[in-house]
Amino acid sequence: MLDRHPNIKPIIRQLDEAAINRIAAGEVVERPASAVKELVENALDAGAARIEICYAEGGKALIRVTDDGCGIAAADLPLALSRHATSKIDGSDLLNIHTFGFRGEALPSLGAVGRLTITSRVEGEDAAQIHVAGGRMERVRPAALSKGTVVELRDLFYATPARLKFMRTDRAEAQAITDIIKRLAMAEPFVAFTLRDVTGGGKGRVTFRADAETGDMFDALHGRLARVLGHEFADNALRIDAQREALHLTGYAALPTYSRGSAVAQFLYVNGRPVRDKLLIGALRGAYSDFLSRDRHPAVCLFIDCDPTLVDVNVHPAKSEVRFREPGQARGLIVSALKHALAEAGHRASTTVADATLGAMRPQYTEPRVYQMDRPSPSVLTASHHAQAPGFAETSAVFARVEEPVAEAQDHPLGAARAQLHENYIIAQTADGLVIVDGHAAHERLVYEKLKRQMAENGVAAQALLIPEIVELSEGDAARLMDIAGDLSKLGLTIEPFGGGAVAVRETPAILGEVNAANMIRNILDELADLGDSQTVQARIEAILSRVACHGSIRTGRQMRGDEMNALLREMEATPHSGQCNHGRPTYVELKLADIERLFGRT
């Protein structure tokens, strides 16, 4: 064990400037990507419209950031490399910050652990250059540069070689740099970014490029997100524009069916600054709690803008966390804005569902194309059809056909029901394709939305059981249920203790009809176990409602009549959020006729 109390008299010393800068570098510059972030943010603060970033060996050998910003005057270059020297604040008000940087630590920290060269030119003056290595600063020299600033950092951490042992592979460090640039590029759609890997010398290769977008803010952001996150995100994202008092929320949030297995596609910004803030991430989870299971995560790119005095950005060395003066306002704004946008989306589901379906249907090999002259004659086709006809009757056990569909129903978004397959999947014909509906998943969402509406209006209507159903449980489970008996009664579920670990179910939600009360009680206990004690009362009630809805929806294996199927389709069209079940899975797949014909080589 480390001896923290050696038998020597401790002496307090004033650390020299070089040691102070190396310590500061440990906080500010964790890895090459951290250095890139600081330098690019400086370029943005300088008003740059074009920024080029070059790196070699994952940024460990070279990082060079070139911008066309306002530049640094020759006389100010030595001061720029001094600790706590900055042009961005005057120190009188640390809460009124309008820039990325404000501490004046990044450049001197980089100069303390690497070989740093800054070349810059202010309009109307000659260009100048300064060099610092391991904290040793050289004098300012004349240089050649037409505009802006070039910051070149070589041999990062050469002055603190122990830090190099903690670096990851060149590929991993390069990926971290790319992630940083993409995150910054999303916040600045009117700025052009170019990222190059110049390992081995020369011009290298472009690993990421985003040209400046045009149009209004939302159009520019949509174009930039399509470039950075891909067209699938852009095609399945909902526009967000909401305000609550002094906070303004903008950006795009994806449909629940475009969810991810981790939080890698969540990008949050406060006054243009990328942050990873627990409050905001928790608000996201709350906004999507009705639509995603706990192992799925929404994809969003959201910006909160407000007066700088309403948010403190000086709470983390890397400025990745913030603190709002009124945190409840920020959380409430995100939750309400996203819930409203998802409700406005109606029954819409993500286009990736159809793409995945088509991909699954596409054969893994290509048969020789059959041209028109190779097709069989009409007489041969007729004979073939007659020969195949008996086989259809053999499959009728899993195929329920709608004999007389209503032609006008094809004009509805989800079309007219034509058949039910495997006593669950509804096949509907639209004007330009077909829709496949998961009957159980769709009905689950519809029942859940009805329960929520009843709950909000005057509580869920209950139906009394002629004979109370007795459910045997452990004493612990029974106690947990009785703790929330009051909440359950608002959901139409009335229970009473029946001695020992048993409970008596006296009423169940009327909307569910005849249900197995024992199974429902055990489902609710499972939900309580999953939630734990961290959720709010409202979140717990909605989660229990979701379980109840799942329990009471149409079960797979029930054959539906044609009018029932069409009624289900019309109700889906009229119900918000019906494009996904309570767990975020799609309730239907829409395939366009053109896509289906491509599968069969008919185009």
SS (H, E, C) 173-238: HHHHHHHHHHHHHHHCCCCEEEEEECCCCCCCEEEEEECCCCCCHHHHHHHHHHHHHCHHHHHCEE
Amino acid at 588: Y
Span 286-322, pLDDT tens digits = 888 878 877 788 999 999 999 888 888 766 555 567 8
Chain-centre distance for alpha carbon 475: 41
What pLDDT, on the 0 to 100 scale, is given for residue 44?
93
CATH 3.30.1370.100 residue window(s) in the chain: 442-552
Nearest Cα to Cα of residue 120 among 195, 188, 42? 42
User: 425-435, pLDDT tens digit by residue?
Assistant: 999 999 888 99
Q: What is the pLDDT of residue 408?
A: 62
Edge to edge, what strands does the sheet with 502-509 contain?
462-472, 502-509, 494-497
For residues 258 and 277, what is the distance between their CA atoms, to the nearest angstrom? Answer: 22
Give which of 411, 442, 445, 447 is closest to 429, Cα–Cα.
Answer: 411
Please say if the pLDDT value at position 208 is more than 90: yes
Q: Which residue has the tokens 């490399």?
A: 81
CA-based angle 337:340:345, to the nearest 5?
125
599's CB contacts (< 8 A; 6+ apart) are 358, 361, 362
Q: What is the DSSP string of 512-545?
A: G-S--HHHHHHHHHHHHHHHTT-S-HHHHHHHHH
- What are the distances in angstroms from CA 156 to CA 36, 237, 238, 510? 11, 40, 42, 68
Whether residue 220 contacts residue 189, with contact meaning beta carbons closer than 8 Å, is answered with yes
Dihedral Cα 250, 255, 256, 260, nearest 10 deg:
-80
Q: Confidence band (pLDDT; 50, 70, 90) for 369?
A: very low
Would you call 139 exposed, middle or buried from its count of C-beta atoms within 10 A (0-12, 13-18, 19+)? Answer: exposed
pLDDT at 122: 94
CATH code of 217-344, in short, is: 3.30.230.10
**What would the mean pLDDT of 167-181 be, rounded to a whole number?**
93
Instruction: Identify the CA nearest to 471 among candidates 513, 508, 522.
Output: 522
Q: What is the C-alpha separation between 206 and 509, in angstroms, rounded?
A: 61
List phi, psi (to 5°) of 77: -60, -45
Give the span between the Cα atoms of 252 and 302, in whole angstroms. 6
* More confident call, 378 vs 121: 121
CATH architecture of 17-210: 2-Layer Sandwich (3.30)
Q: How far apart are CA 331 and CA 414, in angstroms?
A: 35
Tokens of 304: 């909160």
Q: Is the pTM of this model over 0.75?
A: no
Helix (H, G, I), strand (E, B) or coil at 136: strand
Cβ neighbours of residue 387 closer than 8 Å, sequence gap 6 or more: none
pLDDT band at 557 (very low <50, low <70, confident <90, very high): low
Q: Are 98 and 149 in contact (CB under 8 A)?
A: no
Looking at every residue in the chain, the average pLDDT score rounds to 80
- Judged against a pLDDT cut of 80, whether residue 155 lies above it is answered with yes
Distance between CA atoms of residues 250 and 217, nearest Å: 10
Q: Does the pLDDT at position 324 exceed 90?
A: no
- Phi-psi region for residue 215, left (φ > 0), alpha (ψ -120 to 50) or beta? left
pLDDT band at 81 (very low <50, low <70, confident <90, very high): confident
Q: What strands lie across the sheet with 416-421, from one edge to the other?
A: 399-401, 416-421, 425-430, 433-438, 588-592
Q: Stretch 232-248: mean pLDDT, rounded?
A: 92
Token pair 């009809």 in the structure block, residue:
513
Q: Which of 134-138, 355-359, 396-400, 442-446 has the lowest mean pLDDT?
A: 396-400
Q: Which of 355, 337, 338, 257 is nearest to 581 (CA)?
A: 257
Percent of the chain with pLDDT over 90: 33
Q: Is domain 442-552 given the CATH code 3.40.50.300 in the classification?
A: no
For CATH 3.30.230.10, the residue range(s) in the chain are 217-344
The DSSP bridge pattern shows strands 136-137 and 128-133 to be antiparallel
Lowest-confidence range among 97-106, 189-198, 211-220, 431-440? 97-106
Helix (H, G, I), strand (E, B) or coil at 361: helix
Band (pLDDT 50/70/90 cuts) for residue 376 is: very low
Please check whether residue 197 is in contact with residue 55, taking contact to mean a CB–CB distance below 8 angstroms: yes
For the cut 50, the answer to whether the pLDDT of residue 194 exceeds it is: yes
Task: Say if residue 434 is exposed, middle or buried (CB neighbours under 10 Å; 0-12, 13-18, 19+).
Answer: middle
- 217-229 vs 170-187: helix crossing angle, rounded to 10: 160
Which uninterrupted H or E stretch holds 449? helix 439-458
Confidence of residue 454 (pLDDT cuts 50, 70, 90): confident
**Which residues are CB-contacts of 5 (< 8 A; sequence separation ≥ 6)?**
none
pLDDT at 25 over 60: no
Confidence check: pLDDT of 333 > 50: yes
Location of each CATH 3.30.565.10 domain in the chain: 17-210
Name the range with the highest mean pLDDT among 146-150, 457-461, 568-572. Answer: 146-150
Look at residue 164 and tell me whether its pLDDT is greater than 50. Answer: yes
